[in-house]
Amino acid sequence: DGGITQSPKYLFRKEGQNVTLSCEQNLNHDAMYWYRQDPGQGLRLIYYSQIVNDFQKGDIAEGYSVSREKKESFPLTVTSAQKNPTAFYLCASSISLGWGEQYFGPGTRLTVT
Amino acid sequence: AQSVTQPDIHITVSEGASLELRCNYSYGATPYLFWYVQSPGQGLQLLLKYFSGDTLVQGIKGFEAEFKRSQSSFNLRKPSVHWSDAAEYFCAVGAGAGGTSYGKLTFGQGTILTVHP
């Protein structure tokens, strides 16, 4: 079945450590996205990628970094510079940027203490 | 910049009752509009979408939504709610080609639906 996988489902880290969240899709989509979800705030866009080796900052990119070396993969690194990293992180993809709906993965809940 | 408002944070209905979830958007041109549903701790599932054409859109699970340009609204409706519909619902607006926010979705804050038996 085609879809988006995110791993792990739950992630725990100590403050000051960088952590990388995985996102893989087998939908053959060109565009991929990372969102952060906090209670009562909806989804906020962190980074998005239109194509391999290209990505753009979203609305809340500070303290995060991404790479897009393969079409299928779009990992997100939460760095120690992110002041409030505890959140639910969602990865999504679409056929291309600005075309078609976005399909979402199951999410990763990151807790930093 | 585009924006979305979902005025109701929490709605409670009885099973079998009708449902309407409100969504108002702000965008300078014809928007792309979406409704997604999220169960606790899960990802988002697309219920329906509006790109162009017929302003009454049918989706999955018996949901429908109507695009009203004059009211900048895209309200979600269901004639008879089932207990399994309890979840959080998100309205989203996307910009088409040429817009400064091209390709990006802006989400509302969500409406939590509780269904009483």
Nearest CB partner across the interface for B34, out of A6, A101, A107: A101
**Environment class of B112 (CB within 10 Å of its CB; exposed 0-12, middle 13-18, buried 19+):** middle
DSSP state of A105: -
pLDDT at B52: 84
Note whether A107 contacts B42, CB cutoff 8 Å: yes
Q: Which of A37, A94, A110 to mutate to test the interface with B (most CBs of B within 10 A)?
A: A37
Note whether A90 contacts B43, CB cutoff 8 Å: yes
Q: How far apart are CA B117 and CA B106, in angstroms?
A: 33
Residue-wise pLDDT tens digits, A40-49: 788 999 999 9
Q: How far apart are CA A61 and CA A66, in angstroms?
A: 10
Residue-wise pLDDT tens digits, B40-70: 989 999 999 998 888 999 999 999 999 999 9
What percent of chain A has pLDDT above 90? 88
What is the mean predicted confidence (pLDDT) over A20-38?
Answer: 96
Angstrom CA distances, A102 to A15, A97, B81, stand at 32, 10, 26
What is the mean predicted confidence (pLDDT) over A76-101?
Answer: 91
- Phi first, then psi, for residue A111 (nearest 5°) are -120, 125
pLDDT at B97: 55
What is the mean predicted confidence (pLDDT) over B15-33?
Answer: 92
pLDDT at A42: 87
Note whether A40 contacts B45, CB cutoff 8 Å: no
How many contacts, defined by CB atoms under 8 Å, are there between A and B?
56
Q: How far apart are CA A48 and CA A89, in angstroms?
A: 13
Note whether A45 contacts B105, CB cutoff 8 Å: yes
Q: Which residue of B has its CA nearest to A37?
A: B109
Read off the amino acid at residue A4: I
**Bridge-based pairing state of the strands A87-94 and A103-104:** antiparallel
The confidence band for B28, taking pLDDT boundaries of 50, 70 and 90, is confident
CB B114 within 8 A of CB B11: yes
pLDDT at B1: 76
Residue-wise pLDDT tens digits, B75-98: 999 999 999 999 999 999 987 655
Q: How far apart are CA A113 and CA A13, in angstroms?
A: 7
pLDDT at B102: 64
The confidence band for A80, taking pLDDT boundaries of 50, 70 and 90, is very high
Q: Which residue of B has its CA nearest to A31?
A: B103
